Structure 1
Amino acid sequence: MFAPRKERSIFLNEIHLLSFYLSKLFLFPFFGKTKFKQFGYYSTYFLIVFTSIQLCFTLVLTGLNDFIEIINISPNLGVCVMCAIKYAKVNSNRALYYDIFEHFREDLWKTISEYSAEDLKTITKYTKIFKLTNRTLILYLSLPLIAIVTIFPWILMVYENKVGKEQKLLLPFDGWYPFDKVNWYFVVYIWESFMTGLIILVYAITDALNISFVACICMELKLLGNSLENLINPEDIENITRRKNISRTHENIKRKLNVTIKRHTFLAKISSELNITLGDLMLVNYTFGSLFICLTAFTFTVVDDLYKSLRYFFFFIALIVAVLDQCIMGQSLSDSSEQLAEAIHASNWLYADQQTKRTLLMLLMRTQKPLQLTANGYLVMNLDTFTRICSSSYQFFNLLRTIYQP
């Protein structure tokens, strides 16, 4: 069966959609940016860093004497800093992202000339995952979250005005300004709405980029597993047992195995580099994820303010999703690479010649150490790690509830 044009076209559409999202953040193309895009990138990075500095001033000048204000401001500051790091990481490691992008856009399809029914199922499955990631993180999660955080304060103020309650000036986040926010309320509201939307989009799109690329790596690992399982097919077995064209058959098996090993070597290389790139972020996520999840959960449960409670509830959900995404990435990558060992055992290796058997044994030894995403090597990101983060958050939450005296 020759290369499936329909499946490939759908997959490439998702690749191009991802590149469209990245281009709106001035991260794509990875090389050869115009001066306008370079200016856009540095301006965006400056705005995110500036907002982080603003929140630092807010914490120091207005929050240190108030426990509730500390836990109110800290998660916002943490997310801004994380967003700045994510944004800079993609740009500074653009050579890696370019290699991965080009591999799955062009090179993957050149190295595979034939597809089995199992391959088609694999491509279709991971294309759906790719599609779901692009739409869920950006369209179904980020845009509604932006709408809630930026529009809800205004709606609530209009409602309170109509029912005759004392009107309070609500804002998307609590920032410090060297002037009276009341006199410049609309300017402040527009600034905070814009920055809230920008930070959420940067956070979501950079996460979508990493999740999508890990999903692509998992897809190719599964395709490699299919290739190994069919390394020695029934026709090859018949030729070997009947000693018919035996030399040509073994050479064909070696050729297919060499192609598989080259592809696995490339995947191991980019997975290792991606692990190094994301290691700092994952370490910060593990270290502060429990704290920020705990603080947002505590805030929306104890604050006697409808707007703040709703705002931090959605903040809490977004943080849970962000941590879960990274743990699922690591779990999926480990599981997919471990399945290669099973594929080698199912490859009818008994019919191979001695050289092929030795090569398969070496490949089997390489697969004993699965591809992983780690927090700078300190711990493996997987669902067990997510469970530990949630457990730590719950313990901190109970501690805060115990010591907090309103």
Structure 2
Amino acid sequence: MSNNLTTMKRLIVSELGFLKTMGNKIFLYPFIGRTNLQMVGYTIMFTLVLCTILQLTLTILLTDTTDWLDIVNVVPNLGVCVMTVIKYTKLHTHKELYDDIFYHFHKQMWDNVSPYSKRHKRIVATYGRVSHIINRFLLYYSIPLIVVVDSFPYLVMIYEEKFLDEKEYLYPFDGWYPFDKVKFYAAAYIWESCMTAVVVSVYMFSNMIHASIITFICMELRILGECLEDLISPQDVSNIRRGVDAVNLEVFGRLKSIIVMHEFLAKKSAALDSVLGVAMLLNYSLGAVFICLTAFTATVVDNFYKRVRYTFMCMSLMVEISNQCLIGQILSDHSENLTNSIYSSEWPNASHETKKIMLMFMMRTQKPFQLSGNGYIVMNMNTFSRICSTSYQFFNLLRTMFLKSRVL
């Protein structure tokens, strides 16, 4: 392998290594061949999140149904924990898929990358930096998020007790306990802090690995597009016109290699869509409701701690939904661009057989890669716009009803 190609690979391989390290910390890597100790760690984390789901479910069932603020306080947390279990188990049960994808980007993808092409080098560098930025943002966003969510209730409680002469015990997510949680405040607080860290960590890694995979798929689609545009070079055109038949065979071979890689990406994208489908459908179905409820509650509660808490809940939900819609939009856009790349090639000079294959390939690329909610709704920016619009309409409705009830 040339030094140029090794240099181009370095950033991508580095990001794959970073994902492997993060996955190892939550017992999900290696995807295949984990030790017994790692499987024990996975089982423990899975069981702890299930216990948290049970705890929050009991909290809702035992809550006074007339106090809707308490229900709103618990339901988004329960939804996040359910999503965490789904993400965690999907990454485990589809470990072969993720292992194949990692191997492809580590080894197979580079067969179509030219170490001497400046455009290929620029594409790899650009998408490698994008992946690096996304991963570091998610990491450095998650760490302070855990610290703030875990420490903010305690700090507010201390402040109110010291300066406002008020004593209200506050918790990270305020769940139900089979014992007096005021008497055992430290134990309850430590439990909720640890589970918050676990949930955020799993969410962070899941978003990180899927955003990186989509970024790398888009990178390879761009490279395949460049290969298609350069499929028949000016020198090839000259040789074809002079009747050099060997050139047509070389062009057909390069086209076949491109189609094979595209077919691999299509299959893995479809498999990834199937893996993420349930989580995306839940996000779409419940996202508008949760965003509306948390935003509305933040505007009507008088308590400073709850107002801040609901505001950050709303912002976190918006970030999560926008992330899934954005990566779905980017994936679709990149796959559709291959049609233009095929048309931009010197296809009029190709052989009849090559033209026929290119035509069929063009028809295939007109069906873009997509991420969807189990096939019911396509995740793109139009979907995000609909979610925001629905949330705003619900918010206005609740706000109007609340103001009228206060007047009456």
How high is the TM-score relative to the length of structure 2?
A: 0.96
**CA drift at 1:143:** 1.2
Equivalent position of 1:102 in the other structure: 103
**CA drift at 1:105:** 1.4
Partner of 2:174, secondary structure, is: coil
Equivalent position of 1:119 in the other structure: 120
**CA drift at 1:161:** 3.0
8 Å CA contact 1:161–1:167 kept in 2: the answer is: yes
**Over residues 31-90 of structure 1, what are the superposed CA-to-partner deviations in whole Å (9 max), with x where a residue is unaligned?**
111111101111101111110110000001024231111111111111111111111111
Residue from 357, 372, 380 that aligns with 2:378: 380
**CA drift at 1:387:** 0.2
8 Å CA contact 1:27–1:41 kept in 2: the answer is: yes
**Over residues 130-177 of structure 1, what are the superposed CA-to-partner deviations in whole Å (9 max), with x where a residue is unaligned?**
1122111122x2111111111112222222233242122111111001
Equivalent position of 1:66 in the other structure: 67
8 Å CA contact 2:123–2:219 kept in 1: the answer is: yes
Equivalent position of 2:205 in the other structure: 205
Does 2:305 correspond to 1:304?
no
Q: Distance in 1 between matches of 2:52 and 2:75?
A: 13
**Over residues 344-398 of structure 1, what are the superposed CA-to-partner deviations in whole Å (9 max), with x where a residue is unaligned?**
0111101101111011001011011111111111121100000000011111111
8 Å CA contact 1:330–1:373 kept in 2: the answer is: yes
Equivalent position of 1:251 in the other structure: 249
Residue from 355, 358, 362 that aligns with 1:357: 355
1:317-356 → structure 2 map (5 Å cutoff): 317-356=315-354
Which moved further from structure 2: 71-80 or 110-119? 110-119
8 Å CA contact 1:63–1:73 kept in 2: the answer is: no
What amino acid sits opposite 2:310 in the alignment?
A: Y
Q: Distance in 2 between matches of 1:250 and 1:222?
A: 24
Q: Distance in 2 between matches of 1:296 and 1:148?
A: 18
8 Å CA contact 2:113–2:120 kept in 1: the answer is: no
8 Å CA contact 2:113–2:223 kept in 1: the answer is: no
Task: Point out 4+ residue stretches in structure 1 off by more than 4 angstroms.
Answer: none
Equivalent position of 1:214 in the other structure: 214
Does 2:26 correspond to 1:28?
no
Instruction: Report the number of matched residues.
Output: 403
Residue from 286, 289, 300 that aligns with 2:287: 289
8 Å CA contact 1:3–1:113 kept in 2: the answer is: no
Q: Distance in 2 between matches of 1:63 and 1:230?
A: 68
Equivalent position of 1:5 in the other structure: 6
Q: Distance in 1 between matches of 2:245 and 2:267?
A: 33
Equivalent position of 1:369 in the other structure: 367
**CA drift at 1:110:** 4.0
**CA drift at 1:315:** 1.5
Equivalent position of 1:228 in the other structure: 228
8 Å CA contact 1:48–1:84 kept in 2: the answer is: yes
User: Unpaired segments of 5 or more residues in structure 2?
Assistant: none
Q: Distance in 2 between matches of 1:207 and 1:88?
A: 14
**CA drift at 1:115:** 4.5
Q: Distance in 2 between matches of 1:52 and 1:400?
A: 28
**CA drift at 1:109:** 2.1
Q: Distance in 2 between matches of 1:302 and 1:197?
A: 29
**Over residues 213-243 of structure 1, what are the superposed CA-to-partner deviations in whole Å (9 max), with x where a residue is unaligned?**
1111111111100000000011111222334
**CA drift at 1:112:** 3.4
8 Å CA contact 2:31–2:99 kept in 1: the answer is: yes
Partner of 2:179, secondary structure, is: coil
8 Å CA contact 2:55–2:176 kept in 1: the answer is: yes
Q: Are the structure 2 counterparts of residues 221 and 63 from structure 1 closer, same or farther at C-alpha, using a change threshold of 3 Å?
A: farther
Residue from 297, 311, 315 that aligns with 1:313: 311
What amino acid sits opposite 1:156 in the alignment?
A: V
**Over residues 169-188 of structure 1, what are the superposed CA-to-partner deviations in whole Å (9 max), with x where a residue is unaligned?**
11111100111111100111
1:12-23 → structure 2 map (5 Å cutoff): 12-23=13-24
Q: Distance in 2 between matches of 1:38 and 1:354?
A: 55
User: Unpaired segments of 5 or more residues in structure 1?
Assistant: none
Q: Distance in 1 between matches of 2:115 and 2:166?
A: 70
Equivalent position of 2:91 in the other structure: 90
**CA drift at 1:287:** 0.2
**Over residues 224-279 of structure 1, what are the superposed CA-to-partner deviations in whole Å (9 max), with x where a residue is unaligned?**
00000000011111222334xx1121111111101001000101110111111111
1:34-49 → structure 2 map (5 Å cutoff): 34-49=35-50
RMSD of equivalent CA atoms: 1.4
Question: Among the aligned pairs, what percent are the same residue?
Answer: 45
How high is the TM-score relative to the length of structure 1?
A: 0.96
8 Å CA contact 1:7–1:123 kept in 2: the answer is: yes
Partner of 2:107, secondary structure, is: helix
What amino acid sits opposite 2:264 in the alignment?
A: F
Q: Distance in 1 between matches of 2:97 and 2:341?
A: 28
Q: Distance in 2 between matches of 1:51 and 1:403?
A: 34
Q: Distance in 1 between matches of 2:51 and 2:116?
A: 51
**CA drift at 1:111:** 4.6
8 Å CA contact 1:290–1:393 kept in 2: the answer is: yes
Q: Are the structure 2 counterparts of residues 167 and 328 from structure 1 closer, same or farther at C-alpha, using a change threshold of 3 Å?
A: same
1:133-282 → structure 2 map (5 Å cutoff): 133-139=134-140, 141-243=141-243, 246-282=244-280
8 Å CA contact 1:55–1:176 kept in 2: the answer is: yes
Q: Are the structure 2 counterparts of residues 33 and 204 from structure 1 closer, same or farther at C-alpha, using a change threshold of 3 Å?
A: same
